[in-house]
A and B are shown apart, each in its own frame.
Chain A
Amino acid sequence: MDDIVSIFVTAFSLITTGNSDVWEITSRTLQVTFSSVLISTVISLPLGTAITFRNFRGKKTLINIIQTLYALPTVIVGLVCYMLLSRTGPLGYLGFLFTPNGMIFGQTILIIPIMTGLTIAALQAIPPTITDTIRSLGATRMQFLISHIREARFTIMAAVVIGFSRAISEVGAAIMIGGNIRGHTRVLTTAISLQTSMGNFELSLALGIILLGIALVINLFLGALQQR
């Protein structure tokens, strides 16, 4: 019992005293995750919008595939990206393997399906009374799209937050593509995994608390936006 209490005390002191390792890892985590969420948003929103409003053969199948990929295992993303990015792979010339860029690449692939799928779901959830009203009020095609997306904005924001949560909490792709190199590609999850296996529970716990804290802040922020 005393052990657990002292672990917590040490963990909090690591956070509050500004241990340089802790903050270095945290800031890299945020950089990598925000980058992949940003890239993924730029791809997923237009993609989801296009799939929702265009009619084409195989639309239902495509949506089904996207939904299946919500559960894409992170280690599979890690494996495939590793093969793509390794020196002999097709994207080897990018030199992304064992770099933060490689991790961003992997996380982007990981969260595009869930963000695209949830964007589609958010847009489809707008009731016909709203879409009829938009059209009836004399919106052009473009105005229709803008109003429609605007009406779904809170649900789309939630899709972005879910993408963020999945990216920041995954460990498989980060460790396989990044390699958990100290001072270079080590992020919160890979660090926790390593420190735990080394018996450094204080540091692991401190990093874990920070990870949860970030998730909390993001969700509070979204909640505040939706309340407005």
Chain B
Amino acid sequence: MIRLEQVSRKFGERTILTGVSGEIRKGEIFTIIGPSGQGKTTLLRLINMLDTPTEGSIFFDGISLHGSGDQATSLRRRMGMVFQIPASFHETVFENIAIGLKYRRISKDEIKRRVLEKLKEIGLEGYENRKAGTLSGGEMQRVSLARVMVTEPDLLLLDEPTANLDPVSTARIEDLIRLYNRKSGTTVIMSSHDLFQGQRLADRIAVMMEGRFIQTGETIDVFSHPCSAKVARFIGISNILQGRVIGIEDGILSIDVSGTVIHALGTADKEMVSVAIRPEDITLYNEPDGKMSARNVLYGKITGIKPFGIICHVMTTCGEITLAVQVTWQSVKEMNLKEGQEIILSFKAPSVHVMPLDEHETCRSW
């Protein structure tokens, strides 16, 4: 559907995109996640032809998005973009939704039929004569979604559509997007700085950092196999350490992390690596236990307990390294965990994810 070839965009001296490449498939929800200010909006604007790349090309069904004038307009009419801040025209809700159809010279009756139907879909039936300026942020964002959906685009571009909304409005917008994608088969490219939103909605995810896709893949793959420490940190893995590979035996790597040896399942091309261990993959013991079959057993000390809603992270130090361990509040009580207490940590070799240390290397795409 969309092919990106080494797309770059510079604004004066500032480089926003540095060679983005990738392919978005027909019918999928493709989510670009990454921290704010990494070029997600710029990329969506380039695809919508609101801006032109400094270098590289973008293809829409094989057609280069480089034209201007009528050709550009007809290509743009096959897409629809929803912006982070919804634009509300000084008109009624009806007029706000109808505007794209008017540009396409659709008949009045057809416009009325489609707009009223869409209003029903977004749960704003009866709002057609309201002034758009009187709507709440969430309602207005639904209107701007409807304004685009009503033109029946082949490609829907959503730039952080829920960034300024409360959780209830966010859930509504997400439902609308998912339903629309499933019903009409429209390809959706969406940006988000909320990785859980990415997880909830996306078929595939691209992680955008420093103006590039540093990892692209099926949502589950990206979340379970981050390709670099940066991605791992962004997707919320709090234990990221650096170490040196000192041995390999039966597919098990021995990695020296500041004097502590950690065993990991995997391969490493280079001697220096990053390792990520999810806090939920580590088990705590008060004293040595026969059940500790895991390959990694570390002795440490509790330095603090951080609450995370219904669970908490027990912060520990083992020699030179610091590890967070996820436990339930019930376990904290049962094990009588306290700051300063000696503790044993255990985790399996497959739970240790090894990544190259060089963060500038682009990951392979699936």
Interface residues of A (CB under 8 A from B): 127, 129-130, 132-141, 143, 147, 151, 153-154
B50 touches A136 (CB 8 A): yes
Q: Which residues in A have their C-beta under 8 angstroms from that of B81?
A: 132, 136
Pick the residue among B87, B89, B104, B144 that contacts A138 (CB under 8 A): B104
Which 3 pairs across A and B sit closest by C-beta, in order of nearness?
A138-B77, A137-B100, A133-B87
Verify A133–B83 contact, CB threshold 8 A. Answer: yes
A143 and B73 alpha carbons, distance in the complex (Å): 11
**Is B147 among interface residues, defined by CB-CB distance under 8 A?**
yes
Shortest CB–CB separation between residue B365 and chain A, in angstroms?
A: 28
A137-B99, A138-B103 given; A129·B76 CB < 8 A: no
| Distance to closest chain B CB from A134 (angstroms) | 8
A141 to B77, CA, bound (A): 14
Task: Find the B residue at minimum CB distance from A129.
Answer: B87
Residues of the A chain whose Cβ atoms lie less than 8 Å from the Cβ of B85: 129
Q: Which of B50, B80, B151 contacts A135 (CB 8 A)?
A: B50
Q: Are A129 and B83 in contact (CB under 8 A)?
A: yes
Flag if B99 contacts A147 (CB, 8 Å).
Answer: yes
Q: Does B291 contact A (CB under 8 A)?
A: no
Residues B83 and A137 in contact, CB atoms below 8 Å apart: no
Chain A residues, Cβ within 8 Å of B99 = 134, 137, 147
Cα separation A132 to B147 with both chains bound (whole Å): 14
* B191 beta carbon closer than 8 Å to chain A: no
Query: Is chain A's binding surface mostly helix, strand, loop or mixed?
Result: helix
A-facing mask of B93-112, CB < 8 A → 1, else 0?
A: 00000011001100000000
How far, in angstroms, from A139 to B101 measured CA to CA in the complex?
A: 10
In whole angstroms, what is the CA distance A140 to B148 when docked?
Answer: 16
Given the complex, which residues of B lie within 8 Å of A135, measured CB to CB? 50, 76
Whole-angstrom CA separation of A136 from B50 in the bound complex? 7
Within the complex, the shortest CB–CB distance from B118 to chain A, in Å, comes to 14
Q: Which residue of A lies closest to B85 (CB)?
A: A129
Report the nearest B residue to A133, measured CB to CB: B87
Docked Cα-Cα span, A132 to B41, in Å, equals 13
The answer to whether A138 touches B73, judged by C-beta atoms less than 8 angstroms apart, is: yes
Q: How far is the CA of A195 from the CA of B89 in the complex (A)?
A: 50
List which B38-87 residues lie within 8 A (CB) of chain A: 45, 48, 50, 69-70, 73-74, 76-77, 79-81, 83, 85-87
Nearest opposing residue in chain A for B45, CB measure? A132
Residues of A within 8 A of B89 (CB): 130, 147, 151
When the two chains form their complex, are residues B73 and A132 in contact, meaning their CB atoms are under 8 A apart? Answer: no
B200 within 8 A of A: no
Known pairs A129-B85, A137-B147, A143-B103; A151 contacts B90 (CB<8 A): yes
Scoring A137, A147, A153 by chain B CB atoms within 10 A of each residue's CB, the highest score goes to A137
List, in ascending order, chain A residues with CB within 8 A of B104's CB. 138
A118 → chain B closest CB, angstroms: 17
| Chain A residues within 8 Å of B48, by CB | 136
Q: Kindly list chain B residues whose C-beta atoms are within 8 Å of the C-beta of A141.
A: 69
Complex contacts, B50 vs chain A, CB 8 Å: 132, 135-136
For the complex formed, measure the closest distance between the CB of A154 and the CB atoms of chain B, giving whole angstroms. Answer: 7
Give the distance in Å from the alpha carbon of A29 to the alpha carbon of B100 in the complex: 45
* Closest chain A residue, CB of each to CB of B51: A132
Q: List 15 A-B contacts (CB under 8 A).
A: A129-B86, A129-B87, A132-B45, A132-B87, A136-B80, A137-B148, A138-B73, A138-B103, A138-B151, A140-B70, A140-B103, A141-B69, A151-B90, A153-B90, A154-B90
